[in-house]
């Protein structure tokens, strides 16, 4: 634990904690958004992330000229997943809105199984790998700590997503309607808003974020079957800590989780995962609605 | 009403003719192969099965064993212990197989071993590595292992690192589950015996399935090791390398890293291409070409190539091929397919595997199976992909006990 006195080491762990957090935020924000407005706990959110990763890998492999093709394929992946999300919402999900919660859970879990098998049929069971885009393969040194340049770019993209999400929820007319839908969808419908198309748009936006984060993660992780379930567990821990439906809560939850992982391994080398779960349990006992969430009426 | 599948199966087996009686009546020798043939592990399970199939085809073409054909009955174990047990039972009770050659993961192997014990049908495990499979308290007359175990793999790696004279401080990174814990323990203990001057300065234990290794990598670098033993495998290795490289991990360690777990196989080098951490040491079950390769091995590689229509061929067929060699030699020696007689014949049996002589030890039913180790480099042979150089077969005989 003596390393904790070494500023270079602490900065290094901080860096890795923040990087973990920004990815978790990208994925968990969509999950939280869907819950906040549609009141659905979407297990299949991780599947959309996985499909984003596979599409990004597939398109990168097909397009010529690596540097440009990577970013083009990220965009393609995010858009295709957004459309897929819209189709899922229009054709399937809307029939279970009025069902009881455990039906909805079972339904989205069924989607997880379907998407996971579909991905295996389409892309096989091998691990795939995407190289870092040209010019972003190295790292820069800041204050004695190496920052991989690709992760700096992710940090910038993640911060932009936070700002855009906050602005569009709090400073636009559409955002006001979304917030209203989260509070009382029946009243909103009675006031003449087309709630059904609002739901489709929200699901599409959340799917876009899932596809985007899946695509952006490919240069850092391998693209493998099972990455869907892996990420959804982490994303749930994050939203439970931060509060389902709260944007800032999701950001806070991501940061807490990232830091617990980064510093936990120094303090309890073999129990850092336990620390994250313990924290979640503690939050559930003391504030079941999460650190920044609101109790559900 | 809840019906217990196992009870129904067992009942059905008891009602039908006793399996052993049924088996004796058939002229064909049936070998059941439970192996992951779907899901992520199928990447290795499918080519592994090819070895047994090719062996059977070759033996049958030359008149069979004791004048009897060998039939391979493959079943998908889905890399799950429950499913492996289910298909193993089905193979024994419904198909009346004489022997089982198969299982891949360290969960499947011990699970099917208990079935082998109950039904008195020999299981030869070609791949599972956990020491538990043949540990004294789990050993019984019907279980054998022809693959390397975690002790062999950890100690082989220690033998190689012990020769790195400029290394004083060593670190390890393995997943926190049976395989990772066992292989790291075997490595550390053997290394300390060989080089008492070496100090283990850090051990990282990410969970299996960890997607984010950066905090572990960063913490490891902070302890300034001279060399690292890593137990990453398959897709986890790919992820780990991608996250470690930009942090300067391989540069700082000057590639003084040994990572067994078959990341030196062409399956992994093909996936990673130019992103492979050139310069590290690794191992593989098999290798198509190397200096000092025997004629027998070259011929074997040509045959696998032709059989699987792949050049260079997969490195996994050798696992079940060697297991089948042991089995047929024992059947010949026993002049019978009776489980007890073949089990006795397997004890201390020596065969000529394509890569050299192999003996199944009497005391622990474990073959003295080593692997090919070498440094992964970039050269003309591999194009953009890494190839193994300084290839050596590490014979575990001197350090298995």
In this prediction, residue A101 carries a pLDDT of 86
Chain A, chain B: beta-carbon pairs less than 8 Å apart: 106
Does residue B157 share a domain with residue B79? no
pLDDT mean over B150-154:
97
Does residue B320 share a domain with residue B265? no
pLDDT mean over A211-218:
96
Q: Determine what percent of chain B is predicted with pLDDT higher than 90.
A: 80
Residue of B46, B172, B207, B215 best to disrupt the A interface, most CBs of A under 10 A: B215
Least confident of A139-143, B144-148, B178-182: A139-143
Confirm whether B296 is domain-assigned. no
In this prediction, residue B22 carries a pLDDT of 47
Q: Which residues contact B92 (CB under 8 A, 6 or more apart)?
A: B19, B32, B100, B115, B119, B121
In this prediction, residue B98 carries a pLDDT of 97
Using a CB-CB cut-off of 8 Å, the residues of chain B touching A269 are 203-205
Does residue B217 share a domain with residue B159? yes
Domain harbouring B316, CATH code: 3.40.50.2300
Q: In whole numbers, what is the pLDDT of chain B averaged over residues?
A: 91
Distances (CA, A) of B51 to A7, A26, B284: 54, 45, 16
**Interchain CB distance below 8 Å, B219 and A3:** yes
Does residue B62 share a domain with residue B24? yes
Confirm whether B51 is domain-assigned. yes
Map tokens 């109950």 to a residue: B118
Of B24 and A88, the structure prediction assigns the larger pLDDT to A88
Task: Report d(CA B84, CA B76) in Å as an integer.
Answer: 8
Tell me the DSSP string of B109-151.
HHHHHHHHHHHT-EEEESS---GGGGSTTT--TTEEE-S--HH
Q: How far is B398 from chain A (nearest CA, A)?
A: 33
With 80 as the cut, is the pLDDT of residue A297 above it? no
Using a CB-CB cut-off of 8 Å, the residues of chain B touching A266 are 219
pLDDT mean over A68-88:
94
Confirm whether B328 is domain-assigned. yes
In this prediction, residue A2 carries a pLDDT of 63
Residue of A4, A11, A12 best to disrupt the B interface, most CBs of B under 10 A: A12
Confirm whether B19 is domain-assigned. yes
pLDDT mean over A187-216:
93
**Interchain CB distance below 8 Å, A125 and B223:** no
pLDDT in tens, B276-316: 999 999 999 999 999 999 999 999 999 999 999 998 999 99
**Interchain CB distance below 8 Å, A222 and B39:** no
Among residues B131, B127, B22, B150, the alpha carbon closest in space to that of B79 is found at B127
Residue B150 tokens, joined: 């975690």
- As for how many domains chain B has, the answer is 2
Q: How far is B68 from chain A (nearest CA, A)?
A: 37
Of B107 and A50, the structure prediction assigns the larger pLDDT to A50
Residue of B211, B213, B276 best to disrupt the A interface, most CBs of A under 10 A: B211
**Interchain CB distance below 8 Å, B238 and A13:** no
What secondary structure, in 3-state letters, does B145-182 show?
A: ECCCCHHHHHHHHHHHHCCCCCCCEEEEECCCCHHHHH
Confirm whether B22 is domain-assigned. yes
Task: Report d(CA B165, CA B143) in Å as an integer.
Answer: 40
Confirm whether B364 is domain-assigned. no
Quick one: closest CA in B to A120, which residue? B39
**Interchain CB distance below 8 Å, A265 and B176:** no
Q: How far is B315 from chain A (nearest CA, A)?
A: 15
Does residue B19 share a domain with residue B72? yes
Pairing between strand A145-148 and B29-35? unpaired
In this prediction, residue B26 carries a pLDDT of 58
Confirm whether B158 is domain-assigned. yes
Quick one: closest CA in A to B202, which residue? A269
In this prediction, residue B210 carries a pLDDT of 77
Does residue B317 share a domain with residue B184? no
Domain that holds residue B104: 5-149+301-359
Does residue B161 share a domain with residue B138? no
pLDDT mean over A149-164:
93
Does residue B68 share a domain with residue B54? yes
In this prediction, residue B2 carries a pLDDT of 46
Q: How many separate helices (H) and strands (E) can be counted in chain A?
A: 11, 2
Quick one: closest CA in B to A127, which residue? B235
Q: Which residues contact B28 (CB under 8 A, 6 or more apart)?
A: B68, B69, B70, B71
Quick one: closest CA in B to A7, which residue? B222
Please give the angle made by the CA atoms of A42, A114 and A53, to the nearest 5 degrees. Answer: 75
Name B299's bridge partners: none
Domain spans in chain A, listed from the N-terminal domain onward: 2-123+145-286
Confirm whether B366 is domain-assigned. no
**Interchain CB distance below 8 Å, B247 and A148:** yes
With 70 as the cut, is the pLDDT of residue A265 above it? yes
Give A147's pLDDT tier (boundaries 50, 70, 90).
confident
Q: How far is B348 from chain A (nearest CA, A)?
A: 38
Does residue B395 share a domain with residue B257? yes
Give A66's pLDDT tier (boundaries 50, 70, 90).
low
């Amino acid at each position: 634990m003596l390393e904790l006195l070494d500023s270079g080491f602490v900065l290094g762990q901080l860096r890795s904690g923040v990087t973990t957090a920004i990815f978790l935020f990208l994925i968990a924000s969509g999950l939280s958004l869907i819950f906040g407005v549609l009141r659905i706990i979407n297990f299949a959110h991780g599947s959309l992330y996985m499909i984003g990763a596979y599409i990004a890998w597939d398109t990168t492999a097909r397009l010529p000229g690596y540097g440009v093709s990577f970013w083009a394929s990220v965009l393609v992946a995010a858009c295709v997943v957004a459309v897929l999300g819209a189709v899922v919402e229009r054709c399937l999900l809307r029939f279970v809105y009025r069902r009881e919660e455990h039906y909805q859970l079972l339904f989205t879990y069924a989607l997880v199984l379907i998407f996971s098998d579909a991905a295996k049929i389409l892309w096989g069971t091998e691990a795939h790998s995407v190289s870092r885009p040209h010019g972003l393969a190295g790292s820069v040194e800041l204050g004695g700590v190496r920052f991989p340049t690709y992760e700096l770019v992710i940090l910038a993209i993640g911060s932009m997503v936070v700002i855009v999400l906050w602005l569009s929820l709090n400073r636009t007319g559409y955002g006001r309607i979304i917030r209203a839908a989260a509070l009382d969808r029946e009243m909103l419908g009675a006031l003449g808003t087309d709630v059904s198309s609002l739901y489709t748009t929200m699901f599409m936006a959340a799917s876009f974020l899932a596809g985007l984060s899946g695509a952006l993660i490919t240069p850092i992780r391998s693209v493998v079957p099972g990455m869907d379930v892996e990420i959804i567990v982490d994303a749930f821990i994050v939203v439970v800590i931060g509060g389902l439906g709260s944007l800032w809560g999701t950001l806070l939850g991501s940061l807490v989780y990232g830091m617990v992982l980064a510093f936990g391994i120094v303090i309890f080398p073999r129990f850092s995962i336990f620390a994250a779960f313990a924290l979640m349990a503690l939050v559930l006992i003391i504030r079941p609605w999460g650190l920044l969430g609101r109790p559900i009426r | 009403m809840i019906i217990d599948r196992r009870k129904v199966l067992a009942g059905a087996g008891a009602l039908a003719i006793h399996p052993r009686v049924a088996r004796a009546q058939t002229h064909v020798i049936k070998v059941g192969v439970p192996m992951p043939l779907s899901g992520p592990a199928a990447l290795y399970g499918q080519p592994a099965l090819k070895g047994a199939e090719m062996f059977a085809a070759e033996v049958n073409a030359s008149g069979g064993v004791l004048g009897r054909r060998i039939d391979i009955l493959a079943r998908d174990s889905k890399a799950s212990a429950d499913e492996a047990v289910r298909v193993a039972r089905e193979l024994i009770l419904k198909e009346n197989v004489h022997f089982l050659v198969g299982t891949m993961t360290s969960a499947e192997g011990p699970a099917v071993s208990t079935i082998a014990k109950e039904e008195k049908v020999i299981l030869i495990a070609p791949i599972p590595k956990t020491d538990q499979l043949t540990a004294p308290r789990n050993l019984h007359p019907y279980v054998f292992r022809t693959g390397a175990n975690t002790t062999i793999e950890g100690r082989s790696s220690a033998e190689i690192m012990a020769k790195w004279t400029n290394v004083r401080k060593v670190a390890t990174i393995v997943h926190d589950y049976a395989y990772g814990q066992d292989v790291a323990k075997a490595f550390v203990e053997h290394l300390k015996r060989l080089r008492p001057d070496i100090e283990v300065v850090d051990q990282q234990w990410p969970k299996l399935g960890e997607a984010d290794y950066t905090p572990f990598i960063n913490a490891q670098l902070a302890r300034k090791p001279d060399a690292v033993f890593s137990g990453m495998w398959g897709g986890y290795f790919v992820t780990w390398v991608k996250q470690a490289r930009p942090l300067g991990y391989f540069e700082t360690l000057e590639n003084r890293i040994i990572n067994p777990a078959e990341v030196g196989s062409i399956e992994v080098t093909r996936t990673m291409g130019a992103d492979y951490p050139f310069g590290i040491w690794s191992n593989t079950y098999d290798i198509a070409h190397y200096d000092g390769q025997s004629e027998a091995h070259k011929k074997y590689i040509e045959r696998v190539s032709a059989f699987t229509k792949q050049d260079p061929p997969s490195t996994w067929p050798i696992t079940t091929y060697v297991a089948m060699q042991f089995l047929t030699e024992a059947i010949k020696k026993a002049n019978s397919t009776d489980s007890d007689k073949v089990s006795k014949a397997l004890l201390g049996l020596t065969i000529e595997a394509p890569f050299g002589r192999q003996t199944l030890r009497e005391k622990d039913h474990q073959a003295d199976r080593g692997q090919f180790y070498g440094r992964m480099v970039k050269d003309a042979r591999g194009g953009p992909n890494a190839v193994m150089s300084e290839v050596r077969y590490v014979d575990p005989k001197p350090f298995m006990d």
